[in-house]
Amino acid sequence: MLRLPAGLLPALLASALVALSASAQNAAPRPQLHILHDVRLTDAPDAPRHALVLRDGRIESVLDVAAELPAGARVIDGRGMLALPAFVDAFAQAGFETPTPVAQQDAPPSEASDVYIDMRVANRKGIQPSFRAAEVFNLAKDKSAPWREAGFGALLAAPAGQLLAGTSALCVTREAAARDSILLADVFAHAAFRATGPGYPSTLIGYHAQLRQFFLDAKHHAELEQRYEQRRPGPRPAHDAELAASRPIVRKELRVMCEADSAQDIQRWIKLADELGFELGIVGGREAWKVAAELKGRDIPVVLTLQWGDEPKDPKEKDKKGKKDAGEAKEKQPESKPESAPAAETKQDEPPPEKNPDEKKPDEKKADEKKADEKKADEKKQWEYEEPLAVREAKRARWVEGRDCALRLHEAGVRFAFGSGSGNGGELLKKVRTLVENGLPKDAALAALTSSASQLVGAKQHLGSLIAGFDATLALWTDIPTKKDAKVAWLFVDGFPHEYEIKAEEKLEGKPDDGVDASGVWDCETKSDQGAQKATLTLKMTPEGEVTGTLVTSGQRGERTVDVKGTVVGKTLVLEGSYTMRDTEVTTKWKVELDGGTLRGSATMRGPWGETTSEVSGERKPKWLEDEAAYEGEEACCGHK
C-alpha cells in the first residue's frame, strides 16, 4: 500500500481545489434559470397569459400562467407585458471595418519587358471573397447598446463596399467574447458595384469586366485542381485563397447579397447572376418596388436598409393644413355675442377724458406689428431662390416612393427583411414605425424583424419564434413595438438578461403663467463635455402656450436649421425637433425655465452615438435690436448707405 508523506495529502487537495477554481473562472458564463411569468404572446389586450421557462440559453417550455413552475428559478413578473422574439438586423455594418483588398497578388511585371496588352493575372482590386467577418467580429459594449435597447438580439455583421467584400456572420448582441458572439459563420457573400483604391477598375463597365474575369478564373482554377489531382496534363494550380473561397458561390451554395438601390442596378445584378451563375439577393432596395414582379417570380429576397435620405417638404402641406383648419372651423358654431351694455353716463362735474387722435388701441398696435412682420418676411422671401413647384413635387414623390417600397413589396409577395446598414438598431426601429404609420401592416413589419429575417439569414431553427427548443433570445415590451411609445422592459439574449428602466413620458399640462411669453429671438449657448456651442432660437407662442419656431446651430458642417415645437406651462418651456444626418435621425429636446428675458435648463440630443445632455442658457434680444438688425439687412440688400 502506497503511503504518502505527512502533509502531502492536504497540499495535493489544496492544489486540486485551486485548479478547479481557476477552471471555473475561465469557463464561459452560464445563464441562470429564469421564468417570465404572466406574459402575453400576442398584442390582444385579452390574450391568454403564459409563463416562459428559460434554461441554459434555450426556451425550455411555454406554460399556462396557472401551471406549476419549476423550482429554483428566478421569476420575473411580466405584468401582462408582450413577449416577442428578439429582432434580427439582417444587414449591419458593425463589429469591424471592411478591409481594402490587396489589388496585385502576382509577380510584378519586368521593367525591361515590352508593353503588356493583357491585364495582370491576379488583379484582385475589389475582390476578397476569402475575408470572413466571423474571424474579426468584435462589437464594443457602447456600440452594441443601441441594438439591445431597441429589442435586437442578433445582427448580421456584413462586409460592404467592394465588388466581392467577403462573407457575413450572424452574431448576438450581448456582451461576450468574440467566440461566444458568433451564431452562424459565412451566412452570405456580399457584393457591390464599388472598388476602393486607384487603378483599374474604376467605372461601372470595369466593375462588370472584373467580376466576369474573376468568375471565369474561378471556374478555370477548379478545373486545373481537378486535372492536377487526376494527374492529367495541365499546369499545377496556384494557391489562391480568393479563387478557393469562390467555390461555394459558383456552386450556388452561398447566396450573394448585392448592394443596389436603383432599379437599374437591381436589373444589372439579375443579369450578372444569370450569366455568372450565382444565387442572388438584394441589399438596399430603395427602388425594388419597380421590379417587384421579377423579384417575386425569381424568389429573390431583399434586405431593405431604409436609407431614404433627407425628407423633402411637402409642397402641398399648406393647402392640406388650410383645408383641415377650414373644416374644423366649419364644425364650430359661432358663439352669440351678448348685447353691449349701455355706456355709463359721465358725471356732469367731470369732463370726459381727452383722447389723442394719434394713439392706437392695443389690438391695432398688434395688427400693425403683424403686418410689419409679414412685410419683412415677404421682402426677405423675394431674395430667396425657390425651386419650381413641379420640381418640388417630383422630389417629394420620389422620396415617398422610396419610403413606401416595403409596402409595395409586401403587396407583391416579395420576401424582405430590414437591415440598419451603416446605422444601428434604434434608428432602424424608428424607420419601421414610420412605415407602419404610412400603411405597412404591423404583422408584416414585425415578421420582417423576426421570423422572416431569421429565415432569410439561415437561423429559422433558432430565432424568430417563441417555441420550446428555440434560443432564449426574446424581449418583453410594454406595447406592440410598432407604436412610438412602446419600450423594452427586458431583453434576453442566449438566456442572459438585460433589464431597462421604464420612465414615464413627461407631459406638461396647464397654461403659461401671466406675463410669460417665449416669443422672440434668443441667443443661446449649450455647454457639454465636448465644449460650448452657440445657438439661436426664433420662437412664436400662442396665448394657450403652443410654441413653434426654429433652432439654428453652428458646427463643423456650417449652420443647421431645425424646426421645433413645444409647450409652455407655467414658466417651463419644452421644445422638441429632429433632423436627418447621413440618413440617420437625430432628435433634440430642450427643457428650460423662462425668467423674463432669460432662459436656463438642459438640452438632450440623441443620435447614432447615443444620448448627450448639455447645459443651456440664453437671453432674448430686445425688440429694438431685432428691428435694427432687420433694417441693416434691408440696407445691405438694397445697396443703400
| Per-residue pLDDT tens over the stretch 309-334 | 888 888 877 666 555 555 555 555 55
Q: How confident is the model at residue 474 (pLDDT cuts 50, 70, 90)?
A: very high
Q: Within a 10 A sphere around the Cβ of 298, how many other Cβ atoms?
A: 13
Read off the pLDDT of residues 116-167 as tens digits, 9 standing for 90 and up: 656 677 888 999 999 999 999 998 887 899 999 999 999 999 999 999 999 9
| CA distance from start to end of the chain | 117
What is the average pLDDT across 561-570? Answer: 90
Q: Can you give the pLDDT at residue 345?
A: 46
pLDDT at 382 over 70: no
Return the residue matching grid coordinates 359721465.
346
Q: Which residues pair with 513 in a beta bridge?
A: none
Asked if 141 and 168 touch (Cβ cutoff 8 Å), the reply is: no
Read off the pLDDT of residues 592-619 as tens digits, 9 standing for 90 and up: 999 988 999 999 887 655 678 889 999 9
Q: Can you give the pLDDT at residue 319?
A: 64
SS3 280: strand
CA distances from 245 to 35, 132, 188, 252 (A): 44, 10, 12, 13
Q: Where are the domains of the chain?
A: 29-86+464-499, 89-105+120-309+404-456, 520-638
What is the average pLDDT across 190-212? Answer: 94
Q: Within a 10 A sphere around the Cβ of 251, how many other Cβ atoms?
A: 12
pLDDT at 637 over 50: no
pLDDT over 90 percentage in the chain: 59
> What strand order describes the sheet that includes 280-284?
164-167, 189-191, 256-260, 280-284, 302-304, 416-418
Q: Can you give the pLDDT at residue 22?
A: 46
Read off the pLDDT of residues 620-631 as tens digits, 9 standing for 90 and up: 988 765 555 444
pLDDT at 336 over 70: no
Read off the pLDDT of residues 250-299 as tens digits, 9 standing for 90 and up: 999 999 999 999 999 999 999 999 999 999 999 999 999 999 999 999 99
Fold of 29-86+464-499: Urease, subunit C; domain 1 (2.30.40)
Q: Which residues pair with 593 in a beta bridge?
A: 572, 600
CA separation for the pair 437, 209 (Å, rounded):
44
Q: How confident is the model at residue 523 (pLDDT cuts 50, 70, 90)?
A: very high
Average pLDDT across the chain, whole number: 85
CA separation for the pair 573, 424 (Å, rounded):
31
Q: Can you give the pLDDT at residue 634?
A: 46
Q: Can you give the pLDDT at residue 342?
A: 46
Residues 338-357: b if buried by 16+ CB within 10 A, e if exposed: eeeeeeeeeeeeeeeeeeee
Read off the pLDDT of residues 40-82 as tens digits, 9 standing for 90 and up: 999 988 899 999 999 999 999 999 999 999 999 999 999 999 9
Q: Can you give the pLDDT at residue 540?
A: 92
Fold of 89-105+120-309+404-456: TIM Barrel (3.20.20)
Q: Can you give the pLDDT at residue 230?
A: 92
Q: Can you give the pLDDT at residue 326?
A: 57
Query: 453 — phi, psi (to 5°)?
Result: -65, -45
Q: How confident is the model at residue 479 (pLDDT cuts 50, 70, 90)?
A: very high
Q: Exposed, middle or buried: residue 549 (CB in 10 Å: 0-12, 13-18, 19+)?
A: buried
What is the average pLDDT across 175-199? Answer: 93
pLDDT at 341 over 50: no
Name which residue leads in pLDDT, 111 or 342. Answer: 111
Name which residue leads in pLDDT, 34 or 109. Answer: 34
Q: Exposed, middle or buried: residue 25 (CB in 10 Å: 0-12, 13-18, 19+)?
A: exposed
Q: Which cell numbers in the block locate residue 572?
A: 417651463
List Cβ neighbours of 459 (8 Å cut-off, separation of 6 or more). Answer: 88, 154, 170, 183, 184
E strands present in 367-473: 416-418
What is the average pLDDT across 333-352? Answer: 48
Read off the pLDDT of residues 160-182 as tens digits, 9 standing for 90 and up: 999 999 999 999 999 998 889 99
Name which residue leads in pLDDT, 628 or 492. Answer: 492
Q: How confident is the model at residue 28 (pLDDT cuts 50, 70, 90)?
A: low
What is the average pLDDT across 509-528? Answer: 89
- CATH top class, domain 520-638: mainly beta
Q: Can you give the pLDDT at residue 6?
A: 57
